Amino acid sequence: EAGVTQFPSHSVIEKGQTVTLRCDPISGHDNLYWYRRVMGKEIKFLLHFVKESKQDESGMPNNRFLAERTGGTYSTLKVQPAELEDSGVYFCASSQVSGFIGELFFGEGSRLTVL
């Protein structure tokens, strides 16, 4: 069974440009999460989808970040316009609706570098 896959693995963009990160969760997992780790900091929660609905987006830093999960399958996280402080690793995770919250399966992350 395929795990959580994320694309791209690494993106380098200029300040002010737009980047879209994609996450494909494990098939059948209704819960999808975005987390990120900026340099020297802890992994921080961004938001949580249940199917196509945003359950909790309290961790989204500002309105330059837009997450979508159309059809309840894959999700995208768009940063527009990107700022220097957005650099970091963006992790996606998924879990089954019936599972314990901690049984998150993480992807390998998308590393974003904003120059």
Partner 1 sequence: QKEVEQNSGPLSVPEGAIASLNCTYSDRGSQSFFWYRQYSGKSPELIMSIYSNGDKEDGRFTAQLNKASQYVSLLIRDSQPSDSATYLCAVRVGAGNMLTFGGGTRLMVKP
User: Which residues sit at the interface with partner 1, rule CB under 8 A?
Assistant: 3-4, 31, 33, 35, 41-45, 48, 55-56, 58-59, 91, 100-109
Residue whose CB is less far from partner 1, 18 or 97: 97
In the bound complex, what is the minimum distance in angstroms from residue 79's beta carbon to partner 1? 20
> In degrees to the nearest 10, what's the CA dihedral of 54, 59, 64, 67?
-30
CB 112 within 8 A of CB 77: no
80: closest CA among 65, 62, 99?
A: 65
In the bound complex, what is the minimum distance in angstroms from residue 111's beta carbon to partner 1? 9
CB proximity list for 38: less than 8 A, separation 6 or greater: 44, 85, 87, 88
Residue whose CB is less far from partner 1, 1 or 42: 42
In the bound complex, what is the minimum distance in angstroms from residue 82's beta carbon to partner 1? 22
Residue whose CB is less far from partner 1, 91 or 114: 91
